[in-house]
């Protein structure tokens, strides 16, 4: 069987193929664009569509012929994209389209049973004391973070906003490791990460790297205590001072209807 050479009878049936395509889309079949050999006694004639909504698409009319007969049969008429066809972007499953922050209130995000970020916990006990100890070490759950899951988190956090290269960290007077508001994580990540517990810091309540930092560092500035307020002043301009610790006795001020401390009325 030689499929490189088109069957002569089918290859010459261009007008028949065009008429077939016109039945599907009257007035929207363009100039002849060639023939493709599909198999022995099977070819496909191509015609660009004139439909402006399908730029670059072609009508493909597949013709076949039975052996020992010249009768041509239409196998299929279909609109197919050409090399320069305008196509929709490839479909991507929702699980791959999902981005951090997409999860809303009430949404559920199922985690696959074989999620590489998690491994089964090989420890189970009914004893309360043992459960307490297990919880302290991060056990007591059906699955826990795998080595890959930890590595992902470390790389993501360290390279992102909680890391040492964030602009706020580069301008910080000192690192989180020496800050009084730094609460170290437990477990394998404790050497590199903690949580910021400073209500005035932009990272309050978030994971930060030990070499992250910000201007709210506990030792950044020593604030001096406020000086004592000065003694009150008495406006003596409109009164006669007779005596007393402030220059007059209570009730002895004459022409005193205007006597008021500064700032009062
Ligand atoms: S206040 Fe600033 S320096 Fe201190 S732990 Fe928080 S982010 Fe780090």
Structure tokens at 229: 């307020």
- Look up residue 50 and give its two tokens: 């004139």
Q: How many Å apart are CA 133 and CA 244, to the nearest integer?
A: 74
Q: How far apart are CA 215 and CA 167, in angstroms?
A: 11
211 in Cβ contact with 164 (< 8 Å): yes
Q: How many CB atoms lie within 10 A of CB 1?
A: 5
Question: For the sheet containing 57-65, what is the strand order?
Answer: 34-39, 42-48, 57-65, 72-81
- Name which residue sits closest to atom 4 of ligand 1, judged by CA: 217
Counting atoms of ligand 1 from 1, which one is nearest the CA of 198? 1
Q: Are 81 and 28 in contact (CB under 8 A)?
A: no
Pair of tokens at residue 247: 């220059």
Quote the radius of gyration of the chain (alpha carbons, Å).
42
Question: Taking every pair of C-alpha atoms in the chain, what is the biggest distance, in angstroms?
Answer: 141
**Which residues are CB-neighbours of 218 under 8 A, at least 6 positions away?**
179, 180, 181, 198
pLDDT at 127: 74
Answer positive or negative: Cα dihedral of 189, 191, 195, 201. Answer: negative
pLDDT of residue 186: 84
The pLDDT of residue 157 is: 96
- 184 CA from centroid of ligand 1 (Å): 12
Per-residue pLDDT of 55-96, as tens digits, reads 999 999 999 999 989 999 999 999 999 988 988 889 988 878
Nearest of 237, 239, 182 to residue 208 by alpha carbon: 182
Helix%, strand%, coil% for the chain, nearest 5 = 20, 20, 60
Per-residue model confidence as pLDDT tens digits over 211-249:
999 999 999 876 566 777 777 777 777 777 666 555 555
Ligand 1 near 58 CB (within 6 A): no
Pocket of ligand 1 contains residue 45 by CB under 6 Å: no
Give residue 256's pLDDT. Answer: 45
pLDDT at 260: 46
**30: Cα separation from own chain's centroid:** 46
Residue 213 CA, closest ligand 1 atom number: 3
Ligand 1 atom having least distance to the Cα of 172: 3
**pLDDT of 255 above 70:** no
Q: How far apart are CA 4 and CA 145, in angstroms?
A: 57
Is the shortest distance between the CB of 179 and ligand 1 below 6 Å? yes
Higher pLDDT, 163 or 145: 163
* CA nearest neighbour of 248 among 264, 231, 256: 256
d(CA 62, CA 206): 63
- Ramachandran angles phi, psi of 15, nearest 5°: -65, -35
0.75 cut: is pTM over it?
A: no
Kindly state if the Cβ of 216 falls inside 6 Å of ligand 1. Answer: yes
Q: Which atom of ligand 1 is nearest to the CA of 212?
A: 8
Q: Atom 8 of ligand 1 has which residue's CA nearest to it? A: 176
209 CB near ligand 1 (under 6 Å): no
Contacts of 178 (CB under 8 A, 6+ apart): 217, 219
Q: Is the CB of 176 under 6 A from ligand 1?
A: yes
């Amino acid at each position: 069987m030689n499929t490189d050479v088109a069957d002569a009878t089918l290859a010459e049936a261009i007008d028949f193929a065009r008429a077939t395509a016109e039945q599907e889309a009257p007035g929207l079949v363009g100039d002849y664009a060639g023939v493709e050999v599909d198999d022995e006694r099977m070819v496909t004639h191509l015609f660009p569509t004139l439909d402006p909504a399908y730029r670059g698409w072609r009508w493909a009319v597949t013709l076949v012929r039975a052996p020992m007969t010249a009768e041509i049969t239409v196998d299929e008429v279909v609109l197919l994209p050409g090399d320069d066809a305008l196509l929709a972007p490839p479909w991507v499953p929702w699980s791959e389209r999902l981005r951090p922050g997409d999860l809303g209130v009430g949404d559920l995000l199922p985690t696959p049973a074989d999620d590489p970020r998690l491994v089964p916990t090989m420890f189970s006990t009914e004893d309360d004391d043992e459960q307490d100890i297990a919880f302290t070490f991060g056990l007591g759950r059906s699955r826990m973070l795998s080595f890959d899951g930890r590595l992902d988190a470390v790389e993501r956090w360290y390279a992102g906003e909680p890391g040492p290269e964030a602009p706020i960290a580069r301008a910080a007077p000192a690192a989180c490791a020496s800050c009084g508001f730094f609460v170290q994580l437990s477990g394998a990540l404790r050497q590199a990460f903690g949580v910021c517990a400073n209500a005035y810091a932009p990272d309050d309540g978030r994971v930060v790297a030990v070499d992250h930092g910000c201007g709210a560092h506990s030792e950044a500035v020593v604030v001096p205590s406020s000086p004592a307020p000065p003694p009150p002043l008495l406006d003596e301009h409109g009164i006669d001072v007779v005596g007393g610790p402030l220059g007059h006795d209570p009730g002895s001020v004459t022409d005193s209807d205007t006597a008021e401390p500064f700032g009062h009325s």
